[in-house]
Amino acid sequence: MLMNKEMFLKALELLSDRIIDSKELLNDLDTQIGDSDHGSNMTRGFTEAKKKIDMVKDKDFSTILKTIAMTLISTVGGASGPLYGTAFLKASMSVKDREVLVGEDFIKIHENVISGIKQRGHAERGHKTMLDAIIPAYEAFKESIEAGEDLKIASQKATDAAKEGMEYTKGIKAIKGRASFLGDRSIGHVDPGATSSFIIINAINDVIKE
């Protein structure tokens, strides 16, 4: 099992649509511990990204991901704009010259995405951010691929781990981002960025498992 260009484009379209459909949910989560705009920020970015993807869809994986990165950086705003922008930029750098993506490519993408987000936001796992969904997904994915399991199985395990990580953010105190201003009052609410990261991982999985 691998991801070809057609699946790649489908995954990008689906994840954009899912983010746009989740605008209210993400705004509501951000209302609890932030400034109510995470859904609006992400919807603005991915609406524009969808148009740009269509313009570069005949190009290689790296160019397409870089186009999304630039679009997110210039349109999303907030803390999440540069962070997701960096994530897509790091992903683009991980797939140079690739014509299909296999398990090892996704491991590399995860590793570069995580190091990029950490570098930019100085957050670690457990700080109640998007990393609390992405890092568990990476670990479950890598373990599965290294055990010789198929991409479909690894991707499902990554998605389950991302969901668990997202839910885990409800019980912890925010150390980074706007929610950290609330201190202990941030406990009891799921992190909006961990939720958008889960939505993205879940959409990619839905294309892989088809």
The residue ranges that bind ligand ADP (CB under 6 A) are 30, 34-35, 37-38, 41, 78-80, 83, 117, 121-123, 129-131, 176-178, 191-194
Q: Which option in ligand ADP, Mg ion, none does residue 131 bind, with CB closer than 5 to 8 A by kind?
A: ligand ADP
Selected from 16, 23, 37, 138, the binder of Mg ion by CB under 5 A is: 37
Question: How far apart are alpha carbons 71 and 52 in whole angstroms?
Answer: 8
The tokens for 24 are 């209210």
* Closest distance of CB 161 from ligand ADP, Å: 17
Q: Which option in ligand ADP, Mg ion, none does residue 116 bind, with CB closer than 5 to 8 A by kind?
A: none
Which letter, b or e, does each residue of 13-52 get, where b requires 16 or more Cβ atoms within 10 Å of its Cβ? bbbbebbbebbebbbebbebbbeebbbbbbbbbbbbbbeb
> Would the CA dihedral through 33, 68, 204, 84 be positive or negative?
negative
Q: Which is nearer to ligand ADP, 121 or 165 (CB)?
A: 121
Expressed in angstroms, the distance from the first to the final Cα of the chain is 11
* Closest distance of CB 26 from ligand ADP, Å: 8
* Closest distance of CB 156 from Mg ion, Å: 30
- 98 in helix, strand or coil? coil
Q: Which residues contact 6 (CB under 8 A, 6 or more apart)?
A: none
Q: Which option in ligand ADP, Mg ion, none does residue 80 bind, with CB closer than 5 to 8 A by kind?
A: ligand ADP
Residue, CB closest to ligand ADP: 193
* Closest distance of CB 39 from ligand ADP, Å: 8
